Amino acid sequence: MSEVSGNRTDDATRCGMTGTVDQRHAYDVQSVRFRYQSRESNTTRWILDDVSFQVYEGEVLGVVGPNGSGKTSLLKVLARLLNPVEGRIDLFGRDLASMPQREVACLVGVVPQDTYSLFPFTVAETVLMGRFPHQPRGRWTGGLGWESREDVAIAQQAMMTMDIVQLAHRVVTDLSGGERQRTVIARALAQTPKVLLLDEPTAFLDLHHQVEICSVLRRLRDERGLTVVLVSHDLNLVSQYCDRILLMDRGRIVRLGGPDEVIEPDVLESVYRCRVFVDRHPGSGLPRVTLPGRHLSGDN
Amino acid sequence: MTVPAPQPSASIRSDAGARVVSPESEHAGLEISVGAPGAILTRSRWVMTLGSLGCVAMMVGLIGLHFGAQPIAYGDMLQVLVHPIGPGTADGEAADVTRTIMLQVRLPRMLLGFLVGCSLASVGVALQALLRNPLADPYVLGVSSGAALGAATGILFGVGATILADVALPACGFAGGLVALVVVYRMATRDEQLPIHSLLLAGVILNAIFSALIMFITSIMEPNRSYGMTTWLMGTLTAPPYGGLVGLAVYLLIGLLFLFRHMRILNILALGEESARTLGVDTEQTKRRIFVLTALITGAIVSVSGMIGFVGMVVPHAVRLTTGADHRLLLPASALVGGTFLMGADTVARTLLSPVEIPVGIITALVGGPCFVYLLLWRKDRLT
């Protein structure tokens, strides 16, 4: 599974790795509970219910679970888009809730599920916006804020990583789904984050682009020690590309561990409430999930 | 079988990775990609675009000074502009009349038109980015009709007839605009967030209520006053005294200066609220600040010139098609084009049925409406 691994440090790596961080945990999530506030808040159920786990620095963690199990909410809590009602999250040893939004943005890049764009920004402009949290502010000329050479170089690097250099002048509203997805990932990389959070990064992509994006994520983990948390419905993708897998159901963690520990027939069948077959991937030897064929679905 | 064997694809990817990592290609890439023509906004494109738009604005301004019930020869115009308070020339009295028409009637009105157009287009740009809706402008949110209701209430109670009118009516408009904003904001605020769809819906509802109240006020007025009010509501520019003009200019320019400070943040906000927050923008605070600025600017404009529509909607959209979406260019360019457009429209309004003047709001709607339909059909993909 190892990708090309260079130990060369480029601008992006240097910028991303400036702070001296020795913690082994990128995230330390301690008994977090979340629910949407409403007038009848006492009756609404917890979206996240007493969730505790750690994300190790430099791992690729896959989050899976049925619809409505709280995967996306968990990612938003990690991104500080939602604030936990109870519990505490530490990001590299600091309390996430007390960090300014901009500091979080310097450490954490987020790739949302919906990458639809309304306004005709070019790909290069979009990727350069990833530099925003690093740019100076507060001056009267802050409205203009021209990008520095370093910003352009970092954006360039991010575009090369995602293989979208040739799209630089194209307008995002004209791109295909896969191109747009790669543009948004490049924007997140231009933030030179230590952690990348992705929500269904492969949901609308064909096989080629699914494999490509997952391979790039592994490469970034190997080369830069990037920590990746990705939410996906695709158990096979997660099993093949993630170091550890977090299986959720109804806001709780069912199991957390390597693919062999989580991708087990009895665990999956109880969570997803359907029969599955688990065998070995012929190439990697990692567990592989198959749905029961139509000739078997009746004898359930 | 849902996942292909990763081995072959991964090796292809490795090749690509190796190419990317080599330093030569990195350098070559820098030359051809981010710096590719039109890929990003450069300082030279910024200066060139705004410079040429400024020249066009000046030309339209001069043409506007020329036309009117009585055209002024360009030579005479030049003379007046060179010696604004110069001594009477050979044909003293005629020159004085020309000077008066130009400097006391047409010039202040052109300047007012430019200011109002600038402000309307800028507010439109800000609201469109903030609401992520190319159809947004002060009218959609109900800020304009709120301001109009405020000013109309002022007129109903006779504020307009006092010597305080120059200050009091804009204040009424501003108060009305702010009330509209607060109400619309309260209606749409839930969970300490501001969902964008409910905001638009709240604006529509508010607009209906305010329009009804304005019609009520108009209907209970004396006929001659209600006629003036109807004309004002349709959107009219009238030559202001220079004192009032300077006051308005200072007020609007300060407001616009604050708005222009947010150009880069508007770029980020245009990506969507969640993306903006993950890029480090405090979206709630920024939205509130920009909404208040919008209300302040709109309140003043409406109390001076009534409800001039379509400038805030069409101008930013048309400019965006040519300059691109980067607000660092889009906002100032839209301001210049909006000002130019309103000066031109007002010139047409003055001269088309001369000596009868048409409310300029009718001209902007007649020009802007079809333009908008055309954009809608031609560039349907960009408007969804």
Each residue's pLDDT tens digit, B271-293: 888 899 999 998 888 888 888 88
Contact B30 A153 (CB under 8 A): yes
- Tokens 């008994």 belong to A31
Contact A81 B274 (CB under 8 A): yes
Contact B20 A163 (CB under 8 A): yes
- Tokens 């360009």 belong to B74
Q: What is the pLDDT of residue A41?
A: 55
Range in A83-92, A139-148, A283-292, B334-343 with the lowest mean pLDDT: A139-148
Please confirm whether the linkage preceding B108 is cis (ω < 30° from 0): no
Contact B263 A283 (CB under 8 A): no
Structure tokens at B20: 């990317």
Does B234 have pLDDT greater than 70? yes
Question: How many Cβ atoms are within 10 Å of A85's Cβ, its own excluded?
Answer: 16
> Torsions phi, psi of A231, nearest 5?
-95, 135
Does A102 have pLDDT greater than 80? yes
Separation in Å, CA of B330 to nearest CA in chain A: 11
Please confirm whether the linkage preceding A120 is cis (ω < 30° from 0): no
pLDDT-based confidence at residue B112 (cuts at 50, 70, 90) = very high
Mean pLDDT of B161-186: 76
Contact A4 B14 (CB under 8 A): yes
> How far apart are the C-alpha atoms of B28 and B23, rounded to whole Å?
9
Q: What is the pLDDT of residue A8?
A: 36
Contact A173 B382 (CB under 8 A): yes
Does A128 have pLDDT greater than 80? yes
Burial label, A285 (beta-carbon count in 10 A; 0-12, 13-18, 19+): exposed
Q: What is the pLDDT of residue A199?
A: 93
The 10s digit of each residue's pLDDT in B346-376 is: 999 988 887 888 888 888 888 877 876 776 6
pLDDT-based confidence at residue B84 (cuts at 50, 70, 90) = low
Mean pLDDT of B183-203: 64
Q: What is the mean pLDDT of chain B?
A: 79
Q: What is the pLDDT of residue B34?
A: 61
Separation in Å, CA of A293 to nearest CA in chain B: 11
pLDDT-based confidence at residue A195 (cuts at 50, 70, 90) = very high
pLDDT-based confidence at residue B15 (cuts at 50, 70, 90) = very low
Instruction: Report the residue of chain A nearest B190, measured CA to CA.
Output: A38
> How far apart are the C-alpha atoms of B180 and B206, rounded to whole Å?
7
Q: What is the pLDDT of residue A296?
A: 58
Q: What is the pLDDT of residue A139?
A: 61
Contact B277 A125 (CB under 8 A): no
Interface test with B, best of A39, A125, A174, A239 (most B CBs within 10 A): A125
Cβ(A263)–Cβ(A235) below 8 Å: yes
Contact B277 A118 (CB under 8 A): no
Q: What is the pLDDT of residue A254?
A: 93
Q: What is the pLDDT of residue A66?
A: 92
Does B56 have pLDDT greater than 60? yes
Interface of B with A in 76-105 (CB under 8 A): none
Mean pLDDT of B233-245: 82
Contact A130 B29 (CB under 8 A): no
> How far apart are the C-alpha atoms of B265 and B292, rounded to whole Å?
16
Contact B33 A165 (CB under 8 A): yes
Residue type for A43, please? T
Does B192 have pLDDT greater than 60? no
Contact A143 B30 (CB under 8 A): no
Contact A132 B268 (CB under 8 A): yes
Q: What is the pLDDT of residue B162?
A: 63
Mean pLDDT of B19-39: 48
Burial label, B242 (beta-carbon count in 10 A; 0-12, 13-18, 19+): middle
Which of chain B's residues have a Cβ under 8 Å away from the Cβ of A216?
A: 13
pLDDT-based confidence at residue B161 (cuts at 50, 70, 90) = low
Structure tokens at A67: 């619809």
> How far apart are the C-alpha atoms of B309 and B124, rounded to whole Å?
11
Q: What is the pLDDT of residue B33?
A: 56
Does B193 have pLDDT greater than 70? no
Q: What is the pLDDT of residue B196?
A: 56
Mean pLDDT of A141-164: 85
Which of chain A's residues have a Cβ under 8 Å away from the Cβ of B277?
A: 80-81, 101
Instruction: Report the residue of chain A nearest B260, measured CA to CA.
Output: A143
Give the nearest partner residue to B33 out of A106, A132, A156, using CB atoms: A156
B106–chain A Cβ distance below 8 A for any pair = no
Which of chain B's residues have a Cβ under 8 Å away from the Cβ of A100?
A: 280
- A69 vs B188, higher pLDDT: A69
Mean pLDDT of B44-59: 93
The 10s digit of each residue's pLDDT in A166-187 is: 888 898 888 888 888 899 999 9
Candidates B259, B302, B304; CA nearest to B127 is: B259
Separation in Å, CA of A207 to nearest CA in chain B: 7
B70–chain A Cβ distance below 8 A for any pair = no
In sequence order, what are the residues at sequence separation of 6 or more whose Cβ sits closer than 8 angstroms to the Cβ of residue B13? A3, A211, A212, A215, A216, A219
